[in-house]
Structure formats: C-alpha cells, structure tokens
Structure 1
Amino acid sequence: MTGTDLANADELLAGSGLVALVTGGNSGIGFEIARELLARRVEVWIGARDRRKGEAAARELGSSVRVVSLDVTDPATIEAAAAEIGDLDILINNAGINPGGEDISATSVDQLRRAFETNVFGLVAVTQAFLPALERSMHPRIVNISSGTGSLAWNSGPNPQFDWERVKGGGFAYRISKTAVNAATLLAAQALGDRVKVNALAPGLRRTNLLPGMTAGGDPAEAAGGAVRLALLPDDGPSGSLWSWDGSRVPW
C-alpha cells in the first residue's frame, strides 16, 4: 500500500467477530455505513439520540443490528453506552450537525458553540469513553466523519477538486468544526501510535438530513464505502490522515 490511495486497498478480513459502533447510525451516511459493515459480517451497534428512530432503522437493516441510546453531547448516555456495548473493535464517529449560519458576519456564537458541542466535543468524549475497549481489540480502528470543506489546504485557494469560489467564507460554524475534527484525528493518531489506527473521511456533498431540503449531492451509500475501507484497513494500513470517499488522500 502506497499510503496515498486506498481505492484498491485490501480489507482487514471479512469482518466476522468484529464489533462496530456507528454514532448517528439511524440515518444518512451512518445508516449506510451500518448496512455495509453488516454485509461484511461485522456486528453493528447504531447509536441514536432518539431510541425510536434507532429501532426503526434497525428494523430496516435487519435483526442482527443492535441499538444503543447515545447522545454525543450527554456524558451520561456516553458512559452508559460504553458499559452496555463492552468490547469494541471499530468506532465510527459519524454523528454531526450543521447549525446553520453563513459567513462570519452571519453566524452567531451560539451556532458555533452548537457545532463544536456535537461535532468536536462529542466526538472526543465518545472516543475517550471507548478507548479502553478499543485498546483491548486486536484490530482497533477509529473513523471520524469529517469534511473536505474543513481542509485548510483546499480552503486557501482554487483547487480543481473543490468549488472554492462558491463556498469560500460560507458555512462558517460547520466548516471550522470540521477543521477541528481533522486536527483531533491527526493528534489522536500521533498519541495512539501503533495501538489504534485513526483516520478521517471527507464524504463529499451528500443528500442527508445535514442539509434539509437539499436535492443536490450524491448518494450517501457511495460515501459509506470510503468509511468502511478505513474501518477495515489491514494492519499495515495508514493512520493519521484525511481521506476522500473515493480513496484518495485529502490535504489537511
């Protein structure tokens, strides 16, 4: 593996015996990630703030899915989820929000706080709670669902893979929070070293609840494939990088 392209990377194994948690797994990209992991015989837990929505998603995915009540902004539910799930091999930090707002002049500090509460602080809190279980695993993997719009390299000038002129300065709260997710991914990978592989995924623009009413964007299932590749990396796979859904590396 070159470390610059995961499109043709071998998967760790069929998945049998592995246990995964997908936060925000009841809809959108998280739902499709759960579906693909199940197809690879991974035991999947979906974390949902609304238990009824989680159970509805589980019924659609199949009886082998398990649901755990998990609000990434609520320490009590995080602690309870970690206790209920027990052993864990794969953590997909997928839960996220877009609190609205445009550029810095049209985004409130409250919107910024809400973005960080879920997208950054929640991600870190969940990761910390499950680290003891992950470090007991033979093949621990963390995948943080980020965004190419959080890449400082892509945001700093025209790029053929990024519509810089259309989005520059906009999505202030959401994009800053995803830049922080990228930093958290890199620093966590450095701290955990060979013990746990930590990577981030830029899923591309998708039709999800993140942008209600949006008709543009691709199929969430397409992005889910990229997350699953990172979740099932072989033991010689990379750590501490941001990857596009298509398997190419994205600059920080």
Structure 2
Amino acid sequence: MTITLITGANKSLGLETARRLIDAGHTVYAGMRDLANGDAARELGARLVQLDVTDQASVEAAFATLPELDVLVNNAGVLGTSFGVDDLSAEAMQSVFDTNVLGVVRVTQAALPLLRRSAHPVVVNVASGVGWPRFLSTEGRDEFPVPSVPYAASKAAVIALTVQYAKNLPAFRINASDPGYTATDFNRHSGHQTVTEGTDATVALALVGPDGPTGEFHDRLGRIEY
C-alpha cells in the first residue's frame, strides 16, 4: 500500500491529483487548511487532514496523524496580490513566498522522518513554467505575458529547492512538475488545459519507480530541458 499526502487537496489541481492517485491504488491523505471544504476529497475516498503550510504547528500536528508516508505532493500555493511592479512590495513577496516556498520547506522537513522509513520515498513539488526563465522570456509561450513578480520568483525557487533536495537525498525521487496553463481559479478558468491535463506531470512523477528521474522539472510531455 502506498501512502500519499497532498497539500492543498481540497480543489482544483490538488483534488484532481488526489482522485487520480486514489484510482492508481494510493491511500491519499488530503491536506487542507479548512476541513469544512473537504467534502469533494472525502467523496473520492481521501482521508482528510488539517494542514496549513504557513503554520508550523499545523504542519507538525498533521504529520503526527500519519502512520507512514511514501509520497509527498507539495501542491499548495497562492497567486498573491501583486501583478506588476507598481503594486510590488516586500510584503507582497513575503506573503507569496511564505506559502509557495517556505511552505514546501516546512512540509518537506516535517515529512522526512516518515519518508526515510519508506522503501521508495517520492516527493513532487508543483512548480510552474512561470518560474522557468526561458519560458518567461520566449515570445509565444503562455508564460511570456505574465507580469507578476512574486509568483514567478516563488516558482523559480521551488524548482531550485527541488534540485537541491534531490542532490541531498539521493535515495529519494524528488522532482518538480509544471501543470501548464490549466483552467483553475488562479486564472479565472481561462487556461486551455483541463485539470486532468494539468495534473499529468504531477501524477506521473508521483508514480515513478526507484530507478525513475530525480532532480528534474517535467511537464505533461516529459522533462523540460535547461
């Protein structure tokens, strides 16, 4: 039995990831800030766990309820409130980084004792092509028109975190996924991909075997080359 925890699993990409991994035979713990929003995950057969990635006490309490852990999907993220330079502030950066970057660190560090006991530990960090400089600077890419600084910078940090964690934990399989331009609340459902397409990379990386990739960044078509 594969035990999996997904953060931000009450809706959208996190919920679809939960559905697909349950279908793949995983026992899924659906982490979310407010369990009152967990009906959809509960109906899928997920086990709900209160988990606010910005709150260390909440993170520690969540992991105290888990008997084992094989796969961690760091999916929780926020878009933030700054969408250009004129509205940019250190506080806007800090707010986004607290969830998107420090949240990944809080959760991953808390997960390490359980993951180290797994025969095949896997971590997937949900990043974004918006954090990939080549995509941000290539006209014609979906990412090119995005002006937001905090979100892009936070997802670039998530990719770097992934590479560094993978180097430090060679027995793990640790990768980052790019959902692509997917119709979610983040973009008022303007994305051209479905949530199923948007979770292709995350699910594939969550299912990698012991000889699978590590320290890589993947979209639904495979590895994104530097």
| Contact kept? 1:148, 1:250, Cα under 8 Å | no
Q: Which residue does 2:148 correspond to in 1?
A: 171
Partner of 2:83, secondary structure, is coil
The answer to whether the 8 Å contact 2:42/2:48 transfers is no
Kept in 1: contact 2:15–2:41 (CA 8 A):
no
Match of residue 186 from structure 1: 163
Residue identity in the other structure for 2:106? A
Among 23, 26, 38, the alignment partner of 2:22 is: 38
**C-alpha distance in 2 between matches for 1:49 and 1:218:** 26
Q: Given the two structures, how large is their TM-score scaled by the length of structure 2?
A: 0.94
Could you list the per-position Cα deviations for residues 95-140 of structure 1 after superposition, in whole angstroms to 9, with x for gaps in the alignment?
0000132223332222111110000001110000001111110111
| Alignment partner, residue 37 of structure 2 | 53
Alpha-carbon distance in 2 for matches of 1:96, 1:61: 22
Q: Partner of 2:4 in structure 1? A: 20
**Partner of 1:166: helix, strand, or coil?**
coil
1:71 maps onto 2:52 in alignment: yes
CA contact 2:135–2:143 (8 Å) conserved in 1: yes
Which whole-Å deviations, capped at 9, do the CAs of 1:184-227 have from their partners, x for residues lacking one?
A: 0000000101x21100001001122223x333332111122221
Query: Would you say how many aligned residue pairs link Structure 1 and Structure 2?
Result: 226
Residue 141 to residue 164, structure 1, CA distance change in 2 (3 Å): closer
User: For the Cα contact (< 8 Å) 1:144–1:201, is it kept in 2?
Assistant: yes
Gaps of 5+ in 2: none
Q: Which of 175, 187, 192 is the aligned partner of 1:199?
A: 175
- How far residue 165 of structure 1 moved from its aligned partner, in angstroms, is 4.7
Of 66, 73, 81, which residue of structure 2 is paired with 1:100?
81
1:63-103 CA-to-partner distances (Å, cap 9, x unmatched) read: xx200000000111100111101310000000000013222
Question: What is the identity, as a one-letter code, of the residue corresponding to 1:250?
Answer: I
Between the aligned residues of both structures, percent identity stands at 39
Provide the rounded CA distance (Å) in 2 between the counterparts of 1:106 and 1:39: 43
Q: CA RMSD in A?
A: 1.5
TM-score, with length taken from structure 1:
0.85
Structure 2 Cα separation of the partners of residues 111 and 43 of structure 1: 36
CA distance 1:251–1:149, change in 2 (3 Å): farther
For residues 192 and 175 of structure 1, the distance between their equivalents in structure 2, rounded to whole angstroms, comes to 26
Residues 1:123 and 2:104 are matched in the alignment: yes
Once the two structures are TM-superposed, the CA of residue 159 in structure 1 deviates from its matched residue by 5.9
Shift of the alpha carbon at 1:166?
A: 2.4
2:135 aligns to what SS in structure 1?
helix
Q: 1:228 and 1:80 mapped to 2: Cα distance?
A: 26
Q: Deviations over 1:219-240 (max 9, x none)?
A: 1111222211101112111100
Partner of 1:158: 138
Deviations 1:22-49 (A, max 9, x none): 0001101000000000101100000010
Q: CA deviation at 1:250?
A: 1.8
Structure 1 CA distance, aligned partners of 2:60 and 2:177?
Answer: 25
Q: Which has the higher contact order (CA 8 A, sep 6+)?
A: 1
- Is 1:135 aligned to 2:126, yes or no? no
Read off the aligned partner of 1:158 and give its amino acid letter. Answer: T
Q: Counterpart of 1:180 in 2: which secondary structure?
A: helix
Q: What is residue 71 of structure 2 aligned with on the other side?
A: 90
